[in-house]
Structure 1
Amino acid sequence: MLIAITRELSPGMEHCELSFVPREAIDMELAYRQHRQYQQVLADLGCEVISLPPEATMPDAVFVEDVALVFDEVAVMTRPGAESRRAEGASVAAVLKPYRKIVAIQAPGTLDGGDVLRIGRTVYVGASARSNPAGIEQLRALLTGHGYRVQAVAIRGCLHLKSSVTALTDDTVLVQPEWVDPSVFADFKIIEVDPDEPHAANALRAGSGILYPSCFPKTQARLAAAGIVVSTVDVSELQKAEGAVTCCSLVFAA
């Protein structure tokens, strides 16, 4: 069984942290509808969706991916790079506790889940403004005993590693080459985003399915040409908060 932990939107989401996108007005009524559709697509892909209540004082709390990493053997509570987000993890840890042993990144380390891409037994971590060397080294120490290899990856021009690359299958990745060096993933089949859709590299695997934003038709056509079938969802309002489809859930096998 697949579990997908989500969280309802904070009514104060318009006060979210932003780094690489301009601040725009968020249509909250539409954002709520889009988030419900997102949860429904996860359910359609076979996930048991757990929805946590909103955190009124935590504008970014809907982006649950950033506060925890769930591996087969252990769950790692991160220490987000934005200080305003560090209180978000407690309620997520409480939900994860029945499923996994809980360990945590400690100060001075910082780590955002959006910077962490696991493919098989390799864990790629974006060396970003949100994830520092101390956090990456702590993650390496926590996972080495479980047989994972942790590799830091330089990124540029984007918030998180998974803004620039995500896995579509165990041997295929979707890459924005302007933001990450594709040679890091030379062992994989690489599909590059369409140049007209710079934010199109973020896709979410859920079991044998893939959840993908509906606003990138040119890149979706590239995926279709490669035999990659996706389930699309409109996340336009969440994107205004610098979110994407991976950000809004923690998907793992129970």
Structure 2
Amino acid sequence: MVKYFNVTHALARGLARTFEDALALEPPPEPINIALAHKQHEIYNELLRSIVANFIELPADDSCPDCVFIEDTALVIGKTHAVVTRPGEVLIILLLFHGKLRCTCTPHSFPHPGRPGPVVPSASLLA
């Protein structure tokens, strides 16, 4: 297996008891089994704990049914580089960190090793 990154941290959030009220484009064909969803989520977290030295689990927030879906993530490389995974918001991020970050490229797609074609639109930021 080829190792591309040395993953040092993983972040997860608990599954809200109100998860069945989470946003969806269409209603599910059958109601969400919350007990099963919690079991599956714990298995996912156990896997992360077993492979990542610094696993951080934030508590669920029942007032936010979608809280399990952590957004606005970035891949941080060393202390000077970050790949923002929400390319539509690169300008907002640059404004928030005005003077601390600069964009080294326009949003584009990075090819995935071993798979032809682009997969992840992104932008690289430097501190």
Do the structures match in fold with TM over 0.5?
yes
Show the counterpart of 1:181: none
Match 2:115 to one of 180, 191, 200? 191
Name the amino acid aligned to 2:115: I
Show the counterpart of 1:13: 19
Show the counterpart of 1:23: 27
Structure that is richer in helix per residue: 1
Alignment partner of 1:151 is 2:106 = yes
SS at structure 1 position matched to 2:56: strand
CA distance in 2, matches of 1:47, 1:138: 32
CA deviation string 1:57-80 (max 9, x = no partner): 11011112x055463549xxxxxx
CA distance in 1, matches of 2:94, 2:65: 30
Residue 126 of structure 1: how far off its partner (Å): 3.9
Show the counterpart of 2:124: none
Show the counterpart of 2:93: 139
CA distance in 2, matches of 1:44, 1:36: 12
Q: Give the TM-score taking structure 1 as reference length.
A: 0.34
- Identity percentage of aligned residues: 19
Residue 54 of structure 1: how far off its partner (Å): 1.7
- Paired residues of 1:6 and 1:52 also in contact (CA < 8 A): yes
SS at structure 2 position matched to 1:50: strand
Alignment of 1:58-207 (within 5 A): 58-64=64-70, 66-67=71-72, 69=74, 71=76, 72-73=78-79, 123=84, 125-127=86-88, 135-141=89-95, 142=97, 145-146=100-101, 148-149=103-104, 151-152=106-107, 184-185=109-110, 189=113, 191=115
Unaligned 5+ segments in structure 2 are: 1-6, 121-127
Match 2:62 to one of 53, 56, 60? 56
Per the alignment, do residues 124 and 56 of structure 1 end up closer, same or farther by CA in structure 2, a change over 3 Å counting?
closer
Name the amino acid aligned to 2:106: Q
Residue 145 of structure 1: how far off its partner (Å): 4.2
Q: Give the TM-score taking structure 2 as reference length.
A: 0.61
- Paired residues of 1:16 and 1:59 also in contact (CA < 8 A): yes
- Paired residues of 1:122 and 1:150 also in contact (CA < 8 A): no
Per the alignment, do residues 185 and 32 of structure 1 end up closer, same or farther by CA in structure 2, a change over 3 Å counting?
same
- Paired residues of 2:75 and 2:85 also in contact (CA < 8 A): no
Show the counterpart of 1:36: 42
CA distance in 2, matches of 1:150, 1:40: 37
Per the alignment, do residues 146 and 53 of structure 1 end up closer, same or farther by CA in structure 2, a change over 3 Å counting?
same
Residue 52 of structure 1: how far off its partner (Å): 2.2
- Paired residues of 1:140 and 1:150 also in contact (CA < 8 A): no
CA distance in 1, matches of 2:63, 2:83: 36
Residue 56 of structure 1: how far off its partner (Å): 1.1
Find the structure with the greater CA-based Rg.
2
